[in-house]
Amino acid sequence: MIKPSRYPVRLYAWYLFWGVVVTLGLVLGLWQWERADDKRELLASRAAAPVMIEPTDTPVEGAQVHLRGRYLSEHTLYLDNRMTGGRLGVAVLTPLRDRYGQLWLVQRGFLETGPSREAPSTSTPVGMIDVSGEWQNAQVQGPLYGANREGVRLQQLSLMPWESTLGAFSHQGWLHAEEGAGTLTPWWEPSVMPPSRHLGYAVQWWALALTAFMIMLLGGHRLVADNRERYLGGR
């Protein structure tokens, strides 16, 4: 009894597998290309961000904001595990009440603590002060294992730790102070991957798709040729 040939199944499986790889490479390359466009728009938006003096409306992302008000020093907390210049420390987070009664969160800069786990502390200006810096909208944070707050330290930047005592903040975001009273060493920089990086990834994915396409064709041709040789040899 002659066994049925498995050639058609092998050929279809070969083209199906490599067809999926080609499609995946094309789709991921297109996705990276679109992300490059998004990053160009984001960078253009940041470059065109306005300067806002004592705003009452929520600032746009990247705006240079100038505030005048009073720090609520007794509500200062510290964002844990910050690094700058090879030094370990925290970022100082102090709420500010402006002249219109609005509540803002000001990220005042880096405070070196070293590896010590003692509660950090820093002096805070009293009275009416001026502070300015770059506005960042509240961001979706990554996974958090355990409680966010440990004493006066926070593991993630969030407005929630103050809301039980101060109520809701007037605007969903925070000011990264760059100059003014109470400003410490700046450490924060916006995390924006340049468009060229995404374009490079797109080219890599498309190169993978092209390579997979060539393998698909060459391998398929080899399967057809091998089957033809077996067929002719069996005659």
| H or E segment and range at residue 90 | strand 87-98
**What's the CA gap between 45 and 40, in Å, rounded?**
9
Q: Residue 235 — very low, low, confident or very high, per pLDDT cuts 50/70/90?
A: low
Contact call for residues 76 and 111 (beta carbons, < 8 A): no
Residue-wise pLDDT tens digits, 131-143 = 999 999 998 777 8
Highest mean pLDDT (candidates 36-45, 101-110, 112-121, 140-149): 101-110
The two three-digit tokens of residue 63, written as one number:
């705006």
Return the structure tokens found at 85.
């210049």
Residue 1, amino acid: M
Whether 232 has a pLDDT exceeding 70, the answer reads no
Mean residue pLDDT across the chain: 89
Confidence of residue 226 (pLDDT cuts 50, 70, 90): confident
Amino acid present at 83: M
How far is 98 from 128, CA to CA, in rounded Å?
A: 9
pLDDT for 192 beyond 70: no
Tokens 């995404």 identify what position? 198
Decide: 100 and 55 in contact? Cβ < 8 Å: no
Distance CA 96, CA 106 (A): 7
Tell me, what's the pLDDT at 68? 97
Please name which of 7, 23, 5, 8 lies closest in space to residue 216, comparing C-alpha atoms. Answer: 23
Of the candidates 69, 71, 65, the residue with the CA atom closest to the CA atom of residue 92 = 71
User: Coil, helix or strand for 91?
Assistant: strand
The sign of the CA dihedral 222, 224, 230, 235 is: negative
Q: Do the Cβ atoms of 104 and 67 come closer than 8 Å?
A: yes
**Confidence tier at 181 by pLDDT (50, 70, 90):** very high
Joined tokens for residue 177: 């102070």
Whether the model clears a pTM of 0.75, i.e. scores above it, the answer is: no
Q: What is the pLDDT of residues 53-93, one digit of tens each?
A: 999 999 988 899 999 999 999 999 999 999 998 999 999 99
Could you tell me which residues are beta bridge partners of residue 103?
A: 97
Say which range, 6-20, 35-49, 98-112, 129-143, has the weakest mean pLDDT.
35-49
The pLDDT of 99-108, averaged and rounded, is 97
β-bridge partners, 109: 92
pLDDT at 233: 62
Joined together, the tokens standing for residue 126 give: 């009293």
